[in-house]
Amino acid sequence: MKKFVSLLLVMLLVLSLVSFASAEEKKKVGIAMPTQSLERWNRDGAYLKEQFEAAGYEAILCYSDNKNDQQVNDIDNLLSQGVDLLIICAIDGDGLNTVMDRAAEEGVPVISYDRLIGNDAVSYYVSFDNYTVGTLQGKFVESALDLANAGDKTYNIEFTAGDPADNNAGYFFNGAYDVLKGYIEAGTLKVVSGQTEFQQVATAQWSTDTALARAQNILASYYADGTVLDAWLCSNDSTAAGVAQAIESDYAGDNAVIVTGQDGDIANLRNIVDGKQTMTVYKNVANEATVTLEVAKGILSGAAIDESLIANFGGIECAFDTTSYFTSEGHFTPSFLLVPTVVTKDNLQYLVDTGLYQWDGEYLIAK
């Protein structure tokens, strides 16, 4: 009996030491997302938190209501809580210098998530190939209007881009514009409003209401006389939602206008079924979270982080890129760039096959 009791005591001691050690080792990760007002960041935040916790990390998630000052405070707080690593999706890529410098001073590595921060404290960048997102939108319009075989036919188009504070927005716009530029120069495509510069077509904070108001304005000023609108290239779903609404209420023509988007937001997938939006460039953000987790694990364990890490991504298509993105002149950021997919009415089942969406009658809802 005595022997049994002492054995039990030894086991209890070992167990408590083990749990003390694992509590000690539990690394803390701070996740700063921009806003809950746009659908995708809710999904990103949830997947990141869930996946980091499942991997044994403590994950602190915050949203900053699309306000740069608030994000600076939130990241300061995360640093004060002693996080071992930061994952940040910036509201303003150039607005985080002070707090990034603090992270660097305290030796806290930073993964720039989805949007690149313009500060050399960034250790790695995880995103989708943003230029390709734009290219896919441009090519979609090119092929839907069969521009290559247009001959003397001409088509009318308008552009709506994203938030200039978001480093991605220029990549999306340029990717699309570069595909269509030749047709615009040749006169096959006409931008009736004349607004072709990024700054003219940008949408602060990617706001649906701002995109709606600008689209209404353009429709009233340039299309009210019966001019046909063939396509509206929108950089993402939140802006496409505003443009589609304006077309529905303020466009007099009865042709189906081609409207592009990005993300696969539920409301936009509904619009795709209803013919109010034509395509979206889908980015699987659960996969983006998985890649981020693997990069974080590599950083926190001191492993080499290079192309070889892709083998840990469980088959997620991704490129390791060291030449496309830089945080200051000559300071290139090692980047893991996932691959986006075009979704239209014809391949919505692709989303169901990801396991993240399900059918609800003829529409899709999140799973």
Binding stretches for ligand BGC (CB under 6 A): 38, 40, 114-115, 162, 166, 168, 206, 236, 238, 262-263, 283
State the residue for tokens 């340029």: 174
Q: To the nearest whole angstrom, how small is the minimum distance from the Cβ of residue 263 to ligand BGC?
A: 5
Q: To the nearest whole angstrom, how small is the minimum distance from the Cβ of residue 20 to ligand BGC?
A: 42
- Distant-in-sequence contacts of 216-220, Cβ < 8 A, 24+ apart: 216/246, 216/249, 216/250, 218/158, 218/192, 218/193, 219/246, 219/247, 219/250, 219/251, 220/250
Q: To the nearest whole angstrom, how small is the minimum distance from the Cβ of residue 77 to ligand BGC?
A: 23
Nearer to ligand BGC, 35 or 156 (CB): 35
Tell me phi and psi for residue 278, to 5 degrees.
-100, -35
Nearer to ligand BGC, 135 or 236 (CB): 236
Nearer to ligand BGC, 219 or 233 (CB): 233
Assigned token pair, 54: 């499942």
Q: To the nearest whole angstrom, how small is the minimum distance from the Cβ of residue 203 to ligand BGC?
A: 9
Non-local (6+) Cβ contacts of 258 within 8 A are 140, 141, 144, 145, 230, 231, 232, 278
- Do 206 and 166 contact (CB within 8 A), yes or no? yes
Q: To the nearest whole angstrom, how small is the minimum distance from the Cβ of residue 115 to ligand BGC?
A: 5
Helix ranges restricted to H, 187-284: 198-201, 208-218, 237-250, 266-273
Nearer to ligand BGC, 166 or 230 (CB): 166
Nearer to ligand BGC, 108 or 281 (CB): 281
Q: Select the residue whose beta carbon is closest to ligand BGC and give its number.
A: 236
